Each structure stands twice: as structure tokens, then as C-alpha cells.
Structure 1
Amino acid sequence: MKIKSFDNIYHIHRDSRVKRWFYIFIVAMVVVLFIPWTQNIQLKGNVTALYQEQRPQQLNSPIPGRITKWHVKNGDYVKKGDTLLQLAEIKEDYLDPKLLQRTNDQVVAKKGVRDYYQAKVGATNIQLQAINAARELKLKQLKIKIAQLNNKVAAEEAELGAVNNELKLSEDQYNRQKKMYDDGLVSLTQFQQRSVSYQNVLAKKTAIENKLAQTRQEITTINIEQNATIQDYMEKLSKTEGDRFSSLGQIQGSAGEIAKLENQAANYQARQGLYSVVASQDGQVVQLNKAGIGEILKETESIGTIVPKQVDYAVEIYVKPVDLPLLKIGQKVMCIFDGFPAIVFSGWPNSSYGTFSGKVIAIESNINANGLFKALVIEDKGQKKWPPQIKMGAGVKGIAILNDVPIWYEIWRNINGFPPDYYASKTEKSKSADEKSK
């Protein structure tokens, strides 16, 4: 007797389909082995800013001081130039509240001293002109007097010559008269008259010679006076020039002291503007590490950090040395930001969800302290925009996109431990050759 339940439970009389499904599975596996697979590199990094001025900036105290008032708290948004806190002076060199005013008074006083010496130099110049004029006048007077005496000497020498001629004639007459007197041809009275005439001419000659010698002595005296005058005025000019140079030295010294005091005054005025610590740019104040009123800040000590408001975000990714040759400028990188859900198919990046496209713009040639090389990735403007909610320093996972290969090749490569394809395509090689030739 045939039982239906037995036939329904045990399919003894039915044909087996295991072989058919086995062949279907084998065919499917062969087909899958030829499906394209995108080679990639798994990377880690963090969010940063593209430009240095957009990265978090430390707030430092420009001068040592004591905190007197806070204008912000952690998390506040500020604009460039907003006052963050007030400082009071603690250095004894700057405690005088009228320090700037007194320094300016010193500058005014030094300028008065400089003006005094400048006036003295002007008076000395006038005095030098007067002394030179007086010297020239005196020397002209002496030269005129010497010229007059030379003329007088010439006249007296001519007069002496005439007297000498007259004396010679008188002497001849006297000698003849004496001979005639000795011969008795003339009387004693006539001889005495001739003798008197001869003596008068001789006396006249002596008087003219004395007069000429006196005139010549006067010329010598005038020459001595001229030399003495030159020496005297040289001493006066030297003394006045010395006073002038001394005044000029005082002016230069005053100018140096004035410049020094003006520099101090400018420094004091600039220092007064440093008692207010202001924001260097628009952004958020975070990580304030000083609390309360009265705390002392050292020079250049960190107060906190300001995170810029406007940021061109980029991603710093770290690459193993073995993977470094696989990266190049313009390389496509898929970024997965912390806090944003993503479904990733590493072999099919176009089918992934929650990833954002970027491209490599720089690769550092120097290895970092962590033993990895750093590359900089920016947003690919032609693809989906990066989320505006990302923050500085957030973690990022990157997938650097490489070549498309069949799955069987990728399996074979991994089994043998071969790296991804290091070689550029012929098109890329020709492009790089063209760039080098240019």
C-alpha cells in the first residue's frame, strides 16, 4: 500500500538538482572573477586648514602683566580687534602713570638745549665773520702804512743821494778853499765860510741818514706788528672755532639723546596699547588656560586659542613609506569624516555611500616623527561638497583610488603579496614627458 506522506517527505523518486546548482555556482564564480575591482590604499588623517592663517592661532600676552578684566569666556565668537582681556603693568620701570608725559617733557627739554647750542653756533659764526673782517681791516691798514713808509724810504734815499752829491761838491770846494787859504790866496773869513758850508752839508747828510734809518726801523716794527696781528687773530679764530665745534658736538649729542628719548616715548606709547589683548581675526575663543582676576602673565605666555571662522578645509593624510610611490599630485581620495555615517565598498568606490571626494595637492618629501609621510588633500570642486559641519582636527579615513583591475588579478596579487600597480599608464608617461620638454 502506497503512503502519500512518505512520498511527500522522502523525494526518492525525484531527480537531484545539486549538479545543476553546482555548475551555476561555478559559472557565477568565474563571472565574478572578471568583475572590475578598484585598487586602493587605506589611509588615516585629520581635518586641517589649507592656509596657515586659517589654522587655530595661539593667543599670547605681548607683555608681562596682571589680568584686571576678562571680556570673553570659552566658546565666545569674536571679531578681529575685539578686546579679550585687560592687563595692568607689573614691571617697576613702567609703573609711573605719567611716564609718557615725563619722557615727552625730557624730549622738549633736550630740544631746548639743542636749540640753545644751535643759536650759540649761529652767534659764533657771526663772531668768526667779525673777527675775519677785523683781521682783514687791520692787515690792510698795516699794509697801507708799510707802503707809505716804503715811499718815505724811497724819498729819503733820493734825498740822501742828493745830499751826498752836494756833500761831494762841498768837500771839493772846501779842499780847494783850504789849499788857496794855505797859499794865501783867500782870507780866513772866506775859508771859514766854506768850512761852515761843508759842515752844514755833512750835518744834513747825517740827519737824512738817521731819518732813513728811523723809517726803515718803523717798517721793521710794522712788519713785526703785522705778524703779531696775524698771530693774535689766529688765536682768536682758533678759540672761536673751538667754541663752535664744541657747540656742534653738543648739538649732535643732544640729537642722539633726543632720538633716544623719542624712541623711549614711542615705545611707552606703543606699550600702553598692549594692555588690551585683542583678537587677531574673526573666530571662536577656546582653551582659555587662565582664570580669574589678578593672575600674572609672562611675556609671550599662551592665554588660549582662537579658531578662525572662515576656513578653507583640507585633510592631512599619513602614508606608509611602502605606499608613497602610489600617490601623486592630483590623486583622487575618498574621505570618510568622523561622525558622518558611511557605507563603504572599498573595491567599488562609486557604489559607496557617505564618502566625499578629494584630490591630493601636496606630498611632503620628509618623513614625520610617526614614521609616515604626510599628504594634503582638498575638496574636489567638481564632486559632492564636503559637509559644512566638519571641525578642525576631526578624524578622517581616506581611500586613495588606484587602478581598475579584475577581481582574479587582485586575489592573485594578494595571495602572492605583490603591491598594487606602481607603474603609470602610457598616457600619463607621455603627459609627464611633454611637461618636462616644456
Structure 2
Amino acid sequence: MLHISNNNIDSHEIEKKVYALQTLGTPRSGRVIAYWLIGIFVFFFLCLFLPWQQNVQGYGYVTAFAPKDRPQTIPSVIAGRIEKWYVQEGQKVSAGDTILVISEVKDEYFDPQLPERLQEQIKAKNEGIAATQTKINALEDNIAALQNGLKFKLQQAANKLQQARFKLQMDSADYEAEKINMQIARRQFQAGENMYNGQLISLVDFEKRKAKLQETQAKLIAYQNKVDVARNEIINAQIELSSIRADYAKEISKAQSDKSSAVSYLADAQGELSKQQNKYSSVQVRIKNRAVIAPQDGYVVKALKAGVGETLKEGDPVATIQPAQPAKAVELYVKAMDVPLLEKGRMVRLEFDGWPALQFSGWPSVSVGTFPGRVAVIDYVNSKDGKYRILVTPDNEEEEWPEQLRLGSGVSGFVMLNDVPVWYEIWRQLNGFPPSLQSPTAGAEDSVDKKKEGEKDAKK
């Protein structure tokens, strides 16, 4: 190495023969591993700065968005016994199709001619009501006639009373005039008597004056009798007037009493008629309810009663029906701490049971087998387990949900939130911090705007 000797030394030959020198160098495999580790470290370090979309995860199942589209049980409105089934489980039915027929178990409805008998009772009651109404009309006419007769009779009696008063006045005047004549005749008689005693007149003249006095006395008595008779006629006219009032009042009162009784009977009859009509209508409805029908188009999912002859109570369910072509939605349950981050219109990625999927919750664009949706409903109260329910509807502007999807299928979903770096998400998860709060994504706002524009165009 110092070139003191003329003999050359081959360093490569020495390194090959001396093992200790070989151990001082770095093995080639080690350098390769080091390069790989450095590359992997750099790769993961760079990945820390990649964007990551925060999300809220929830689990649930497929349901129908509208309550009318959800599975429903069909009850038996009346109590009865199953007579015949018209459907099978899984069979498609239309609205109004008969599912089963039941027969009566209550003895009051055993009569097969019950509606006809009720109609006969109603007809008879209507005839009775018509007859009673005719009687009431006749009584009203009778009362009116009695009132008119009373008016005429009172007028007649009043005229008679007035005539009696006029007659009393005339007879009284004649009586007063005759009293004057009596005074004159008495004076003439007294004067004639004096003159006869003084022999100034003859006996014949005196007797004439005496006869005139007696005649005047007789007339005065007659006129007195006429006055008394006239007074009695006035009293009789007054009595007759009172008697007419009493007699007609009695007859009118009796007619009014009969009318009141008829009106009371008519009211009772009309009440009974209403009850009979109500019973007839109830029987008609009950007869229709003997056939349990499908309320809407759908499929018979399950028969809840089996066999023929089984008795049912009022309100007992007989079958479960699933409406046809329901508007599907997803019912997800999220934690209470995540509810403040959710708003209507946020994007959701869904993974349905039975559909293979590769889900990257933070990178929805590279996920495979997931389907889009939008938050439509957020419950205001929690469920029994403390979680909150949200309803997710399909996003019509993106990929449609599978046609084969059935109600009740399990679903896991991710509600998309804000974009953050990967390192921030790792740091947030390690510290247990909530995701960043932000308004719904621009895509949701754009879709809402597009829907509004579409509605305006449709109205135009």
C-alpha cells in the first residue's frame, strides 16, 4: 500500500480469503430491505396528506319511505269463524280482492233474512209515522176550526149581549116615560076626585079618570117587567158568552192534548226508526265485513290464522300484506353524538346485504358495490337503545338501487361529511374528537337546486 516493497499485494484476493474483512461490509439483502422500508415509509408519509372524507357510520335495514307502503296486518273487523281462504302465501292480490270469508258466531245475526226483516220493520214504522203525521195534521185542522168557531160564537154572543143592552136601554126609556104618564094620571085622578066631591064633574068623568090611572099603572108594571126581562137577557148573554169560552176551551185543550200525545208518539217513532235504520246499515256493513279484502295492491306475506273453522275475535289479524312497488328507503341508526353533524340532503353511501362491496369510507369515489342516497328524515327523539333513526332515500341523479332489494334487508351506511387530511383523521380518532361540522355537500345543494328547477319547468 505504501509501495516500499516491489511485490504487489492484491487487495481483492485478501478480502476474499479473510472472513473478518467480509463481515465488515453491508450485506446486499440488507440494503434492499432498507430501500423498501424507506420507500414504504415515504409512501405512508405521503398518504398522510391525502384527502379523507369524514363520515358517520350507521346500521339498519331497508324499509318503505311512505307509511302506506310498509307491511301491514289485515284484521278481521267482526268476530266470526273462518269459512274459506281465497289466497296463498306469496300470492299477488289487488285492492278489493277477497282474502278469506268468515261466518257469524253471534246469535243475533244468525237469521239469513235479517236485512229483509229489518226492512219490513222500517216500512211498518214509516207507515205508522205517516199515519201519526196525518192524525197530527187533522188535529191541527180541528184546533184551527175550533178556534175559528170560538171566534164566531164569541162574536155572536157579544152581538146578542149588545142587543140585550140596547133593548134594556129602550125598555128603560119606555119605563121612565110611563112613570111620567103615571104621575100625570095620578094628578088627574086626584084632581077629578076633588072635582067629583065638589060636584063639579059627573061620575062618568070621574070613572074615566080612574080607569086611565089603572091603565097607566098596568102599563108601568108591564114596562117594569120588560126592563127586568132585558136585564135577565143581559145576564143570560153574559153567561152564554162565558159558557162558549169554557166549552171551546175544553174542546181546544182536548185537541191540543191529543196533538201533543201524537207529536210525542211521532218523536218516539222517529227515534225508533232511526235506530232500526242504523241497525239495518250496521247489518249491511257487517255482511260486507264477512269478506276480508285486500286494502291495496300487494303480496300476501304470511297468513296469521290457519285452517278452516277457526274462530276470530274482533280486530284479530288474519294476514300480513306487503304493498306492491313501495318507495324504498333505508332506515339507519346512528349514535347520539353524531346527530348534530347530520342534515337533510347529505350524501350517504350504502352497502346492502347480499351485494358484494369494497368500501373505503373516506374515499367513496374508489368504493365498489355501494349505492348512493340522501338523508331525508332525522328523528327528533331517540329509539329504545339510545340511537337516533335517519331515513335515506335514493339519489335519482346517480346509480339506482337494485330492483331485487327486499324490505327488511340489512344495510350499513356512511353519511359523508367534510374532507380532511388523513393525518388529521388519525389524530382525531386517537383523541376521540368529533368530526368537523360543515353544511351539506355542494352536490346535495346542487341536486336540490336542480329538483326545484325541474319542478318549475314542469309547472310551466
Fold shared per TM-score above 0.5: yes
Q: How far is 1:424 from its partner?
A: 5.2
Deviation of 1:72 (Å): 0.5
Answering whether residue 293 of structure 2 is matched by residue 278 of structure 1, we say yes
The CA deviation at 1:425 is 9.4
Out of 400, 411, 425, the residue aligned to residue 385 of structure 1 is 400
Offset at residue 196 of structure 1 (A): 1.6
Amino acid aligned to 2:436: D
After superposition, residues 108-187 of structure 1 pair within 5 angstroms as 108-187=123-202
Name the SS of the counterpart of 2:102 in structure 1. Answer: strand
Distance 1:141 1:339 in 2: 108
Shift of 1:423: 5.2
Distance 1:424 1:152 in 2: 114
The corresponding residue for 1:53 is 68
- In structure 1, the residue matched to 2:6 is none
**Contact 2:347/2:441 (<8 A) preserved:** no
| Aligned: 1:73 with 2:88 | yes
Give the structure 1 partner of residue 7 of structure 2: none
Secondary structure of the equivalent of 2:393?
strand
Q: Deviations over 1:114-148 (max 9, x none)?
A: 11111111221222233223323333332332233
The question of 1:361 aligning with 2:380 is answered no
Residue 357 (structure 1) shift: 0.6
Distance 1:146 1:386, change over 3 A: same
Q: What is the match of residue 259 of structure 1? A: 274
Shift of the 81–185 alpha-carbon distance from structure 1 to 2, 3 Å rule, reads: same
The corresponding residue for 1:288 is 303
CA distance in 2, matches of 1:394, 1:52: 18
- CA distance in 1: counterparts of 2:171 and 2:91, whole angstroms: 114
Aligned CA distance change for structure 1 residues 269 and 13 (closer, same or farther; 3 Å): closer
Tell which deviates more after alignment, 290-299 or 23-32: 23-32
Q: CA deviation at 1:21?
A: 4.4
Q: 1:417, CA displacement in angstroms?
A: 2.8
Q: For 1:145 and 1:27, locate their aligned partners in 2 and report how far apart those are by CA, in whole Å.
A: 139
Change (3 A) 1:417 1:167: closer
Structure 1 stretches of 4+ moved >6 Å: 10-16, 425-428
CA pair 242-33 structure 1, distance change in 2 beyond 3 A: same
Deviation string 1:143-170 (CA, Å, 9 cap, x unpaired) is: 3322332332232222223212221221
For the structure 1 residues 427 and 48, does the alpha-carbon distance in structure 2 shift closer, same or farther, using more than 3 Å as the test?
A: closer
Instruction: Please say which of residues 29-38 and 283-292 is displaced more in the overlay.
Output: 29-38
* Equivalent in the alignment of 2:323: 308
Residue segments in structure 1 that go unaligned for 5+ positions in a row: 429-438
Other-structure match for 2:413 = 398
The one-letter amino acid of 1:87's match is I
- Cα distance in 2 for partners of 1:415, 1:172 equals 157
- The 1-side partners of 2:276 and 2:144 are apart by 36
Task: Tell me the distance in 1 between the aligned counterparts of 2:141 and 2:340.
Answer: 85
Cα deviation, 1:286-342, whole Å, max 9, x if unaligned, reads 121211110111111011210011211000000111222222211211000111111
Using the TM superposition, give the Cα deviation of residue 426 of structure 1 relative to its aligned residue in structure 2, in angstroms: 12
CA apart distance, 1:190:
2.5
Distance between the aligned counterparts of 1:13 and 1:239, measured in 2?
139
Higher mean Cα deviation, 238-247 or 401-410? 401-410
* Corresponding residue of 1:407: 422
Q: CA deviation at 1:279?
A: 0.4
One-letter amino acid of the counterpart of residue 155, structure 1: M
Check whether the contact 2:300–2:319 (CA below 8 A) recurs between aligned residues: yes
Map 1:22-37 onto structure 2 (within 5 A).
22-37=37-52
Counterparts of residues 180-219 of structure 1 (less than 5 Å) = 180-219=195-234
Query: Aligned residues, how many?
Result: 424
Structure-1-length-normalised TM-score: 0.91
> By how many angstroms is 1:99 displaced?
1.1
Mapped partners of 2:93, 2:294: distance in 1: 7
Which residue identity is paired with 2:287? Answer: Q
Q: CA RMSD in A?
A: 2.5
Give the residue type in structure 1 aligned to 2:316.
Answer: E
CA separation of 1:13/1:394 partners in 2, compared to 1, >3 Å: closer, same or farther?
closer
Q: Quick one: distance in 2 between partners of 1:78 and 1:425?
A: 42
> Offset at 1:26?
3.7
Q: CA deviation at 1:427?
A: 9.6
1:30 Cα deviation after fit: 2.4
Q: Which amino acid aligns with 2:311?
A: I
TM-score (norm 2): 0.87
Structure 2 match to 1:435? none
Give CA-to-partner distance per residue, 1:33-87, whole Å, 9 cap, x none. 2122222222101000010000001111011110100001111111111000011
Aligned match of 2:56 = 41
State the alpha-carbon separation in 2 of the partners of residues 377 and 212 from structure 1: 115
Q: SS of the residue aligned with 1:45?
A: strand
Deviation per residue, 1:253-310 (Å, 9 max, x gap)? 1111111111111111111111111101111101212111101111110112100112
Structure 2: give runs of 5+ residues left out of the alignment.
1-9, 444-460
